[in-house]
Structure 1
């Protein structure tokens, strides 16, 4: 194999590796770790809110929506709104 062909194969491999590294770094930088993820929905409550009544009271007090943890499933999350309307 000639030097020119070997060099082009190496350069192509290096370009692919650099591109893959840049894409991977961008993906990892864009998603915070679960323990670092912001919890805006429950920030209004002083702690976890298990019942719907607790969530309604916390939402009215804070003026922000609060998640009802006891009603959470894999496919939905239920929030109590400050205006007392439940939202899924």
Structure 2
């Protein structure tokens, strides 16, 4: 999805991913967003730490640090930090 996606595109993607959510809920959500953020450009933070933690959990957590670093595209030090976060 493009970085400049509009609200309709974002909601359509969400609708496809969550077909069990009733239409009236989507309509209410759209109304609330438009009421509070009309004409504003909204920044959606990527949450890289959460993403990395999810990816780390999905791969073999017993793999060595260098392999995980290469797989995830992050430094070995960051892999170690994420492992500590998962242990908490």
- State the TM-score, normalizing by the size of structure 1: 0.23
- State the TM-score, normalizing by the size of structure 2: 0.23
More helix by percentage: 2
Larger Rg: 1
More strand by percentage: 1
